[in-house]
Amino acid sequence: MAYDKFTVLTSTAVPMPIENVDTDQIIPARFLKATERTGFGDNLFRDWRYNNDDTPKKDFVLNNPIYSGKILVAGKNFGSGSSREHAAWAIYDYGFRCVVSSFFADIFKNNSLNIGILPVQVSGEFLNKVFKAIEADPKTQLEVNLPNQTITILATGEKESFDINDYKKDNMTNGYDDIDYLQAMKEEILTFAAKSLY
Amino acid sequence: MSNTPSTLFDKVWDAHVVRHITNGPDVFFIDRHFIHEVTSPVAFLGLETRGLKVMFANKTFATADHNTPTINQHLPVKDPLSANQLKALETNSGKYGISYWGLGNPKNGIVHVVGPENGITLPGMTIVCGDSHTSTHGAFGAIAFGIGTSEVEMVLASQCIMQPKPKKMRINVNGKMGIGVTPKDVVLYIISQLTAAGATGYFVEFAGEVFEQMSMEGRMTVCNMSIEMGARGGMIAPDETTFKYIKGKDKAPKGEAWEKDLAYWKTLKTDAGAQFDKEYHFNGADIEPMITFGTNPGMGIGISKHIPVSHETGSGKSSYEKSLNYMGFHEDDAMLGKKVDYVFVGSCTNGRIEDFRAFASIVKGRKKAEHVTAWIVPGSHIVEQQIKDEGILDILTEAGFQLRQPGCSACLAMNDDKIPAGKYAVSTSNRNFEGRQGPGARTMLASPLVAAAAAVTGVVTDPRELLA
């Protein structure tokens, strides 16, 4: 999927200081029945967000109008569990472009990068600073700078670097994906396959 | 070839790198690609949009499992969205010439059960599927892991994915396990020690006497749940147990091809002195029958223990409390004696013949507890047939249980098999996440023996008390 290029994102953020948020919470299995990749945002965090009668749960952060923005800030070990890319689609479809946490599950991280969401892994200490800054002022702006690989709390100037491999960084900043790359090496793959055991 | 000692993982990984990108991922060649109805339709749509074809239809296998009903499979699937996904899988498989085992096909079943039992899964392979429990196939000494839909599209288009090589971990379990302790307990114990994120970023090799003595079914259970500690996958070196299991399977190599492959498979082991990034040692004698009390698979304890009192602070403390609140449990509660409303035996974790033999060993001569609803779901039609052939069905029927038809069923509740809100289930599946088995469902993960003990007593019970 081609997606929008990602360079510098400056936005307010939505705080969700819960650990071990698994993909069954991000998008419950009963909403995985579509055969297209759009429309999942309505059911993002469905069971945390809505009561059984479809009324919004007042204490859930996505239903709190004082928080908004393109950045989701989450507790440690975000996105564990199922490999469903639908979780990343739901986050993207809802309008988030970046998730900040102190730890991501592997498959979720891969899925996010593949569809144009930037997972920014920061230290536990910096994550707490971000939560505190948003708690103090929900209008706190974060700047996520992919070319420089930094995240900054603009109000305080506190900043941290994050890791991303060069290849994925190039993809994100140019809006390319892996299939574009793999198509260009088709002959090499066919040659490899010809001598493979299975 | 260098003489540096290498790990099983290195041997298989390095043999599949088509190209290494500096400061980037490896272009990694895939030998077997399993697809199912939930994570493939959008990938096929992507192929079409780009005007691409499936590069190796003969390396791709499709089965319907996540959405399928477990009763009346001869009738049309009622839920129109599920029916639509199943139809899409059938259509796409037909269009691209992919082998397809749909509902009604005698080979149909859960993808991670039918792959091994038909000899499609072999040592030294690289195997992916849009399902995190693809790690199951690591039991054969394969590198197998779950991928997302964008990657499913990549594999269809190029038979490759782009992956940075994970770090390596070895988990050794030696010593003798007690009676009533099963492979499920071994893996729940390991996850409880490492936590649900303890192996994130790693690929795990399970080694030691406990795994050497384990059956292939048991090894699959262990590797299946390696994803539940965050690992990309788990693997066990192939040995005589592995070769014996594979020999004669429908799609396994035969004759000369068998000899050639076998010679290669025998080289697939970690060399003495090979280095791991992290290593753990556990004693099999320390492992009890396990049960989970919380909302991730790392929250497990020996069945006779009390729920731990949290010593965590900050958001860790509130996440722990949130989890216990969801379960309706409290710190320091005993797990033994807790009421059970539902019992689920099945899934790609414990839906194999050995699991139903274990379940039957306890229910034999007993009756199902009246208030318990039990869903007994084989992982495949082949397992279903074994249950009938071995007389297990008669034992189940006499005890008041009914056998359902194969599929993922209540493990993730995409079909009609949903645990109602607030009800307690002892499940042999892999995940106790909030709402996993239905909105509001409360899941305790356990072995088939613990499930059987709960099914006949109606409460959480130590299976060792019921073993003859």
Contacts of B27 in chain A (CB under 8 A): 182, 185, 189
How high is the pLDDT of residue B345?
Answer: 98
User: B415-440 pLDDT, tens per residue?
Assistant: 999 999 999 999 999 999 999 999 99
Contact map slice: B 179-198 vs A, CB within 8 A: 196-197
Close Cβ partners of A98 (under 8 Å, ≥ 6 residues apart): A9, A11, A70, A71, A72, A117, A118, A119, A120, A144
Which of B153, B159, B200 lies closest to A193 in CB terms? Answer: B159
At B440 the three-state DSSP class reads coil
Could you give the C-alpha distances from B34 to A13, B53, B109, B110, B159, in angstroms and in order? 38, 17, 12, 11, 12
Asked if residues A116 and A92 have their Cβ atoms less than 8 Å apart, the reply is: yes
Close Cβ partners of B352 (under 8 Å, ≥ 6 residues apart): B113, B217, B220, B221, B379, B383
Contact map slice: A 96-135 vs B, CB within 8 A: 103-107, 110-111, 114-115, 128
Pairing of strands A8-16, A71-74: parallel
How high is the pLDDT of residue B72?
Answer: 96
Residues B39, A35: Cα–Cα separation, whole Å: 9
User: A177-196 pLDDT, tens per residue?
Assistant: 899 999 999 999 999 999 99
Q: Is A189 on the interface with B (CB under 8 A)?
A: yes
Closest chain B residue to the Cα of A22, Cα to Cα: B433
Given the structure tokens 């090894």, which residue do they identify?
Answer: B219
Could you give the C-alpha distances from A40 to A29, A127, B44, B291, B450, in angstroms and in order? 12, 27, 18, 34, 37
Residues B378, B346: Cα–Cα separation, whole Å: 6
Report the complex ipTM: 0.94
Collect the ranges in chain B with pLDDT lower than 70. Answer: 1-2, 468
What is the residue-wise DSSP string for A94-152? Answer: HT--EEEES-B-HHHHHHHHHHT-EEEE--HHHHHHHHHHHHH-TT-EEEEETTTTEEE
According to DSSP, residue B287 is labeled: -
Q: Is B52 on the interface with A (CB under 8 A)?
A: yes
Q: Is B148 on the interface with A (CB under 8 A)?
A: yes
Across the 198 residues of chain A, what is the mean pLDDT of every consecutive 10-residue run?
84 96 95 91 97 95 97 97 94 97 95 95 98 97 98 97 95 91 96 94
Close Cβ partners of A6 (under 8 Å, ≥ 6 residues apart): A97, A116, A118, A146, A172, A173, A175
Dihedral angle sign, alpha carbons of residues B3, B9, B11, B13: negative
Pairing of strands B373-376, B342-345: parallel
How high is the pLDDT of residue A1?
Answer: 52
Contacts of B299 in chain A (CB under 8 A): none
Instruction: Please give the distance of CA A87 from its chain centroid, rounded to a whole number.
Output: 9
Closest chain A residue to the Cα of B126, Cα to Cα: A198
**CB–CB contacts below 8 A, A to B:** 202
